[in-house]
Amino acid sequence: MRKWLFRGLLLLLVLGVVGAGVGVWVLTRPTIDTVGRVTFDREVAVPPLAASRVDGAGRRVFDLRTQAGESDLGRGEPTATWGYNGAHLGPTLRAKRGEQVIVNITNQLGEDTTVHWHGMHLPARMDGGPHHPIRPGATFAPQWRVDQPAATLWYHPHPHERTEMQVYRGLAGMFLIDDPATGAAGLPHEYGVDDVPVMVQDKAFDDDGQLSETGRFGSEIGILGDSVLVNGTPGPYLDVTTSLVRLRLLNASTARIFNFALSDGRPFTLIGTDGGLLDRPHQVQRLPLSTGERAEVLVAMRPGERVVLRSGPPAPEGDFAMRRFQGGGDRFDVLELRAAATLKDSSAVPAKLADVPRLDPATAAEHREMEFSTRDINGRRMSHDRVDAVVTRDTTEVWTVVNGHGTPHSFHIHDVQFQVLERTDGGPVPPLLSGWKDTVYLPPHEGYKVIMRFTEFADPATPYMFHCHVLRHEDEGMMGQFVVVEPGGSPRLSAHHGHGG
């Protein structure tokens, strides 16, 4: 009897020590901090502008091909990656407002994909959501008329339950819209020279230099990497030759929330957000971007100097779990800006950038509430057979989108750009949320009231999506469907939509 008691106590002791060890490891394991430890030894890649031609029907034609390949991501050996028209990432598509575009997408991967035009106003059938898989070897050719203000949009896959992996492996690119009326002619606009795409992504690598897809211990938001790439370049620097450089920042990560600042704390000028330019420039020192969000900024440089774009903890910093497990305590060196010994003078920043007509909540035909919690929206997960919101064409709606628990989420909606009316806790709405948005970060227990207008495209048979843009969450079903119908109409989901692939 004594002996068993002794053994039992010994076992408890051993378990206790092991448990405490695991606990100590979890609690003391440092957060990621690469500040001051990145040797900026590679010139940042600038994605090429996609070749295009105008066909007999006057349409601007692009060709995109998904493919697997290998890339030098700074690991000493090649890393297997995916890309459009190349081994990694994709070319920048560019079109003018008013142009009819057609994109021939050929899928050369061994699995289904789709291409979604994030931020684009277009018919649901062209939107590239999970309902329209492109099978291996197949081609899909969506076409639409570009009709929205000048903006920095992007494209990425949106297949059923595989979005995180496909984006993580490298499928992403920018889509720039030009529009003289809303593009502020006085801004830097020479692509790759003083107007530079900056796609920021974090990656985790295994010992063989391959992308690690296991993710971080305790992460509720999927893969969090400890290396940050810009346009696929590790340790990147950008040679600046003008006194003002325009950065089109895109957080193309699958999960990570960045909070950008310059290394010496100097302010920079925020000029645009997801859906286009702001009405006027704002001086800011911090720029938080959750996944899928974009911002255009101007950085003023002095001859010969160097300054580093960094990312620090989000604000609000969140609780212990947020800091330790969701990347909320991590800090990164992202991109070094190197000014030439002499800089070409840029023109002064225009005091007025664009007209951003405010949508009026008094005109809203509908108010809806969307609560994001666990992996659900209003307690439900995505179902291809359920329409979560029926919207009447040419109406305005106000949606209250809130995070109901302690894990970070975001709200993204297809087809439209929205405006933020207020924070649900009554706090101030920052300049970053003063213009057109299609994605907004929902910090733990916070939310926003947003307003949007659904115009032009009604299709009772084809839904658009709204979802959390933490891609693991999207894949797990934190997504809903809305259908835009003509006045008095109702949705008619056709049978094959029941199984999007």
Task: Enumerate binding residues for Cu ion (CB under 5 A).
Answer: 118, 409, 414, 468, 470, 473
Query: Residue 248 interacts with ligand C2O (CB under 6 A)?
Result: no
Q: According to the 3-state scheme, what is the secondary structure of 380-410? A: ECCCCCCCCEEEECCEEEEEEEEECCCCCEE
Residue 468 interaction partner, one of Cu ion, ligand C2O, none, beta carbon < 5-8 Å per kind: Cu ion
Q: Least distance (Å) from ligand C2O to the CB of residue 296?
A: 18
Q: Least distance (Å) from ligand C2O to the CB of residue 155?
A: 9
Residue 216 interaction partner, one of ligand C2O, Cu ion, none, beta carbon < 5-8 Å per kind: none
User: How far is Cα 176 from Cα 117, in angstroms, rounded to an integer?
Assistant: 11
The mark string for 137-156 relative to ligand C2O (x by CB under 6 A, - otherwise) is -------------------x
Q: Least distance (Å) from ligand C2O to the CB of residue 119?
A: 8
**Beta bridge pairs of residue 96:** 178
Q: Using the minimum distance from each CB to ligand C2O, give the nearer residue, 155 or 260.
A: 155
Total residues at the site for ligand C2O (CB under 6 A)? 10
Q: Using the minimum distance from each CB to ligand C2O, give the nearer residue, 158 or 324.
A: 158
Residue 470 interaction partner, one of Cu ion, ligand C2O, none, beta carbon < 5-8 Å per kind: Cu ion
Query: Residue 162 interacts with ligand C2O (CB under 6 A)?
Result: no
User: How far is Cα 79 from Cα 267, in angstroms, rounded to an integer?
Assistant: 37
User: How far is Cα 365 from Cα 103, in angstroms, rounded to an integer?
Assistant: 35
Where does this chain touch ligand C2O (CB under 6 A) — which range of 22-30, 245-253, 261-269, 465-473? 465-473
Residue 203 interaction partner, one of Cu ion, ligand C2O, none, beta carbon < 5-8 Å per kind: none
Number of neighbouring beta carbons within 10 Å of residue 8: 10
The answer to whether the beta carbons of residues 177 and 189 sit under 8 Å apart is no
Instruction: State the distance between the two ends of the chain, measured CA to CA, in whole angstroms.
Output: 61
Query: Residue 121 interacts with ligand C2O (CB under 6 A)?
Result: no
Q: Least distance (Å) from ligand C2O to the CB of residue 380?
A: 17
Query: Residue 131 interacts with ligand C2O (CB under 6 A)?
Result: no
Q: Which of residues 75-94 bind ligand C2O (CB under 6 A)?
A: none
Residue 75 interaction partner, one of ligand C2O, Cu ion, none, beta carbon < 5-8 Å per kind: none
Residues 6+ apart with CB under 8 A from 437: 273, 274, 275, 293, 417, 418, 419, 420, 450
Q: Which of residues 383-442 bind ligand C2O (CB under 6 A)?
A: 412, 414
Q: Which of 118, 132, 246, 472 binds ligand C2O (CB under 6 A)?
A: 118
- Of 271, 315, 310, the closest CA to residue 431 belongs to 271
**Beta bridge pairs of residue 102:** 61, 143
Q: Least distance (Å) from ligand C2O to the CB of residue 158?
A: 5
Where does this chain touch ligand C2O (CB under 6 A) — which range of 187-195, 445-453, 463-471, 493-501? 463-471
> Which amino acid is it at 300?
A
Structure tokens at 12: 């408890």
The answer to whether the beta carbons of residues 419 and 452 sit under 8 Å apart is yes
> Beta-strand (E) ranges in 312-427?
332-344, 366-373, 376-377, 389-392, 395-403, 409-413, 418-423
Structure tokens at 30: 């440092």
Query: Residue 116 interacts with ligand C2O (CB under 6 A)?
Result: yes
Residue 272 interaction partner, one of ligand C2O, Cu ion, none, beta carbon < 5-8 Å per kind: none
Structure tokens at 353: 């950038």
Q: Which of 86, 197, 292, 460 binds ligand C2O (CB under 6 A)?
A: 292
Q: Using the minimum distance from each CB to ligand C2O, give the nearer residue, 118 or 131.
A: 118
Helix (H) or strand (E) holding 311: strand 306-311
C-alpha distances in Å from residue 34, one per residue of 30, 104, 334, 338, 474: 12, 40, 9, 19, 29
Largest CA distance in the chain: 93
Q: Least distance (Å) from ligand C2O to the CB of residue 116?
A: 5
Q: Least distance (Å) from ligand C2O to the CB of residue 160?
A: 12
Q: Using the minimum distance from each CB to Cu ion, give the nearer residue, 235 or 276.
A: 276
C-alpha distances in Å from residue 353, one per residue of 11, 63, 281, 494, 498: 70, 33, 7, 44, 45
Q: Using the minimum distance from each CB to ligand C2O, give the nearer residue, 121 or 158.
A: 158
Q: Sign (positive/negative) of CA torsion 207, 208, 212, 214? A: negative
Cα torsion 368, 426, 283, 198 to 10°: value is -40
Helix (H) or strand (E) holding 25: helix 2-28
Query: Residue 382 interacts with ligand C2O (CB under 6 A)?
Result: no
Q: Least distance (Å) from ligand C2O to the CB of residue 175?
A: 11
What is the number of the residue whose Cβ is closest to ligand C2O?
Answer: 118
Residue 467 interaction partner, one of ligand C2O, Cu ion, none, beta carbon < 5-8 Å per kind: ligand C2O
Q: Least distance (Å) from ligand C2O to the CB of residue 201?
A: 14
Q: Least distance (Å) from Cu ion to the CB of residue 209?
A: 30
Q: Using the minimum distance from each CB to ligand C2O, give the nearer residue, 382 or 402.
A: 382
Q: Using the minimum distance from each CB to ligand C2O, give the nearer residue, 90 or 281.
A: 90
- Note the residues at the interface with ligand C2O (CB under 6 A): 116, 118, 156, 158, 292, 412, 414, 465, 467, 469
